[in-house]
């Protein structure tokens, strides 16, 4: 049994995948557009070029994503993705990359539980906690 985060990006999935590739070195495992659905009704239900389902890898963790129904209601509340990195330098790089076009929620700094911890919402509204394990 696994739990995998699934980001419903409300029409911004392609842009988010490109951003995560650049910011985090994500590797796209698969990407299926609505036009590729075996059921023609699904392909006609919206923009056929939007992403119905995508799967990407960040450091060995799988994240799933979709454009969803593109209703203009992209919200990410009540959770954050925790990104554990090996060093303070990597934390600084990842934090700055995720912060580009986003919002710093807590500056990256030394805490009682980590040599570097910070919180940021990226340009898509996804909250991230960047963390170096002690």
> Using CB atoms within 10 A of its CB, is residue 101 exposed (0-12), middle (13-18) or buried (19+)?
exposed
What range defines the domain where residue 62 resides? 6-66
pTM of model > 0.85: yes
Q: Give the per-residue pLDDT at 117.
A: 98
Q: Give the per-residue pLDDT at 45.
A: 64
The Cα 61–Cα 65 span in angstroms is 13
How many domains is the chain built from? 2
Strand segments, DSSP code E, in 9-86 are 27-33, 51-58, 61-66, 81-85
CB 114 within 8 A of CB 131: yes
Residue 71 domain-assigned (yes or no): no
Residue 72 domain-assigned (yes or no): no
Full pLDDT tens readout for the chain, 134 residues: 989 999 999 999 999 999 999 999 999 999 999 988 888 776 666 788 999 999 999 999 999 999 987 777 778 999 999 999 999 999 999 999 999 999 999 999 999 999 999 999 999 999 999 999 98
Q: Are residues 50 and 99 in the same domain?
A: no
Residue 58 domain-assigned (yes or no): yes
């Amino acid at each position: 049994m696994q739990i995998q985060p699934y980001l419903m990006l409300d029409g911004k999935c392609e842009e988010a995948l490109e951003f995560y590739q650049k910011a985090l070195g994500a590797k796209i495992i698969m990407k299926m557009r609505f036009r590729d659905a075996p059921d023609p009704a699904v392909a006609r239900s919206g923009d056929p070029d939007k992403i119905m389902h995508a799967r990407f890898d960040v450091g060995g963790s799988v994240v799933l994503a979709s454009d969803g129904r593109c209703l203009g209601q992209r919200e990410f509340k009540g959770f954050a993705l925790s990104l554990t990195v090996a060093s303070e330098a990597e934390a600084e790089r990842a934090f700055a990359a995720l912060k580009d076009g986003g919002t710093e929620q807590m500056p990256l700094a030394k805490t009682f539980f980590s040599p570097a911890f910070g919180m940021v919402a990226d340009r898509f509204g996804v909250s991230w906690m960047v963390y170096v394990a002690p």
